[in-house]
Amino acid sequence: MKGAAAAETMRRFFEPRSVAVIGASAAAGKPGRVVVQNILANGFAGELFLVNPRGGEIDGRRVHASIEALPDGIDQAIVTLPAAQAPTTVRALGARGIRAAVLAASGFAEADQLGEALQAELLAAIRESGVRVLGPNTTGHVSVPGAFTSSFFPLGRVPRGSVSYVAQTGNFCGISLRHIMSAEHFGVARSVGLGNKVDLDESDVLEYLGGDAATRAILLYLESIKEPRRFLRVARRVSREKPVVLLKGGVSDAGAAAAVAHTGALAADGRVVDGALEQAGVARIHRYSQLFHVAKALDAMPLPRGNRVAFLSPSGAFTVCLTDLCRTLGLEVPALAEATRARLQALAPPFIGMRNPVDIFGSVALHGYERAYGDALDAVLGDPNVDAAVVIMMLTSETGVPRHDFLVDLVRRHPAKPVYATFMGAHEHDVAAKAYLEPRGVPCFMLVEEPFEVLAVLARCRANLGRLR
């Protein structure tokens, strides 16, 4: 896709003015029912057309008996029919002038040899008809700025955020998105399940998101890369403007075999070396949960200006172990400016020499939780040697559970430097703190290593931006 044609294709997918659901259903739980409920729940303001051979009505909406009965000018079709009907349906959509389609059905190349033959037939139908296709074997996509989703997984209204996902799995428009909405307290801009990517692929979507004003950062999960050279070329261009983060599945022999069964992906297609990704400005991650953790940090906070981190710790063991971790991750734990160190020392018992990392336990004993943590965090955030801070909070009924407003206020007072919170103590207090802080803009992590792992990824993103500009 090039130029105006590419822009119009992506407009039809992400900002459609009219949509047809092919295989709409009145039966509860059916994909053709759930997708309509999702579209309405997200406030879609365009025209919605339903197609089912039975005709009649669904929830008071007219149901057209065929694609041929639809009016002119429809932007997009969501097809929830069985895989065997996909080629014929795509041809019918093309004949009706519908140029964008989402194919939900599985049973193609990921299944068996018959599925491979069916996928080849589908590709021929796409080329003959001129219809651009997302999928098959996908739960669809989400476009919050467009108040639209094609997902048939029950989502409800999706909250808006500034990060976008491109995933070679449908679950990012399904169970993963439900996890984000219920447990991680951030929203998304766009989320795309590529499925078998018989037509549209990761490079097409990455290129679109690179120019998308609603997207501040892009996270990808890929099991194969369809055109590695094109992907690296697009990624290098996009990475000059915004972070691009990749989790690559199928890097082990067993993972590659699973990828074939999942989406029909060939492992050899996706073996792009770390050096090539780094040159393209792509920050590599290696754990699925980091797709949530990194996105949460990017949605709430700016990128760190560098890799220098200060952290407040209620335990000497944490200061040692996490300093070791920082070294392993490529983070610096810098010496603090003398004025900062003196300010910290004034809060502490004389037998504790204050430095970075900041051993906060004695200060809490002298001055209470909020003053000790608040003054110390204010001091390190004001230090010119520090790019980001991590606060390890000790929360138990016996040691006290503070109001967390002080942390929210400090984050707002120092908007240029990211601050992450993590916990060690009574789990119920940790969960309550996360539930309070994250909606107010403070990313929280339930394991003490996680915020440092995130900072290491984001420091690489910052370095890539600087090197590629």
The pLDDT of residue 399 is 79
What CATH number does residue 425 fall under? 3.40.50.261
- How many C-beta neighbours within 10 Å does residue 279 have? 16
**Structure tokens that stand for 216 in this block:** 């501040």
- Regarding whether 203 and 260 lie in a shared domain, the answer is yes
To the question of pTM greater than 0.85 for the whole model, the response is yes
Q: In which order are the strands placed within the sheet that holds 388-395?
A: 358-359, 309-313, 388-395, 419-425, 444-445
Instruction: Name, in order, each residue with C-beta under 8 angstroms of 107's C-beta and a sequence gap of 6 or more.
Output: 82, 83, 84, 115, 118, 137
The candidate with the shortest Cα–Cα distance to 395, out of 404, 382, 386, is 404
Q: How far apart are CA 427 and CA 438, in angstroms?
A: 16
End-of-domain residue from the set 299, 317, 335: 299
Please give the Cα distance from 388 to 451 (Å, whole number). 10
Q: Choose the final residue of a domain: 248, 265, 299.
A: 299
Peptide bond connecting 136 to the previous residue in cis, omega within 30 degrees of 0: yes
Q: Quick one: 379 and 426 in the same domain? A: yes
Domain's final residue, options 299, 315, 337:
299
Are 150 and 106 in the same domain? yes
User: What domain range is 257 assigned to?
Assistant: 3-299
Residues 238 and 373 in one domain: no
> Rounded to whole angstroms, what are the CA distances from 405 to 286, 389, 408, 433, 446?
34, 17, 5, 11, 19
Question: What DSSP line would sit under 274-324, residue for residue?
Answer: HHHHHHTTEEEE--TTHHHHHHHHHHHSPPPSSSBEEEEES-HHHHHHHHH
Rounded alpha-carbon distances, angstroms, from residue 64 to 61, 124, 148, 463: 10, 27, 21, 54
Cα 335–341–345 angle (5° rounding)?
A: 140
Are 33 and 82 part of one and the same domain?
yes
Tokens 């608040």 belong to residue: 374
Residues 290 and 333 in one domain: no
- Check residue 269 and give its pLDDT: 40
What is the 8-class DSSP label of residue 252? S
Q: Are residues 136 and 13 in the same domain?
A: yes
Residue 193 and residue 35: Cα distance in Å, rounded? 15
Look at residue 267 in the predicted model and tell me its pLDDT. 44
Are residues 295 and 307 part of one domain? no
Q: Do 148 and 161 sit in the same domain of this protein?
A: yes
Whether residues 279 and 355 share a domain: the answer is no
Using CA atoms, how far apart are residues 316 and 321, in angstroms rounded to an integer? 9
pLDDT (tens, 9 = 90+) of the chain, 469 residues, equals 568 999 999 999 999 999 999 999 999 999 999 999 999 999 999 999 999 999 999 999 999 999 999 999 999 999 999 999 999 999 999 999 999 999 999 988 888 889 899 999 999 999 999 999 999 999 999 999 999 999 999 999 999 999 999 999 878 899 999 999 999 999 999 999 999 999 999 999 999 999 999 999 999 999 999 999 999 999 999 999 999 999 998 665 544 445 444 444 444 344 446 788 988 999 999 999 999 999 999 999 999 999 999 999 999 999 999 999 999 999 999 999 999 999 999 999 999 999 999 999 999 999 999 999 999 999 999 999 999 999 999 998 987 788 899 999 999 999 999 999 999 999 999 999 999 999 999 999 999 999 999 999 999 999 988 665 4
User: Two tokens at 311?
Assistant: 């952290």
Residue (of 253, 186, 249) closest to 222 by Cα position? 249
Residue 462 and residue 330 share a domain: yes
When divided into structural domains, the chain yields a total of: 2
Which residue, chain included where needed, has tokens 């983060």? 245
Do both 90 and 229 map to the same domain? yes
- CA-based diameter of the chain, in Å? 83
